[in-house]
């Protein structure tokens, strides 16, 4: 649920960023969501199994929280960094 809400917020943010800079807004919003979900998938496949293994052996509530929600933060940060990088590149041209 939280991941879907984050993806929608990123799509809206990318959409309005594209409108302000004169880029195709729908394609930009879709690109933001794709980046978000790819980053979440990479986190889930590469990082989560190791953390899940640690959490199952130690029953540490912090590790359980990380397993459940850290991919959302990681994916959002990746989308934010990409949007900032692309907007910076657009301003320098």
Question: What confidence tens digit (pLDDT) does each residue in 33-55 have?
Answer: 999 999 999 998 998 887 777 77
> From CA 6, how far away is CA 61, in angstroms rounded?
23
> From CA 1, how far away is CA 62, in angstroms rounded?
20
pTM (2 decimals)?
0.81
60: left (phi over 0), alpha (psi -120 to 50) or beta: beta
Question: What confidence tens digit (pLDDT) does each residue in 59-93 have?
Answer: 667 777 777 888 999 999 999 999 888 877 666 65
> From CA 40, how far away is CA 54, in angstroms rounded?
20
> From CA 4, how far away is CA 9, in angstroms rounded?
9
Q: Does the structure show a pLDDT above 80 at 8? A: yes
């Amino acid at each position: 649920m939280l991941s879907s809400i984050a993806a929608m917020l990123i799509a809206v943010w990318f959409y309005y960023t594209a409108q302000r800079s004169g880029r195709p807004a729908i394609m930009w919003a879709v690109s933001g969501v794709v980046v978000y979900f790819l980053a979440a998938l990479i986190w889930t496949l590469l990082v989560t199994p190791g953390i899940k293994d640690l959490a199952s052996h130690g029953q540490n509530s912090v590790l359980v929280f990380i397993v459940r929600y850290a991919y959302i933060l990681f994916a959002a940060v990746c989308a934010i960094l990409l949007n900032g990088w692309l907007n910076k590149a657009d301003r320098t041209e």
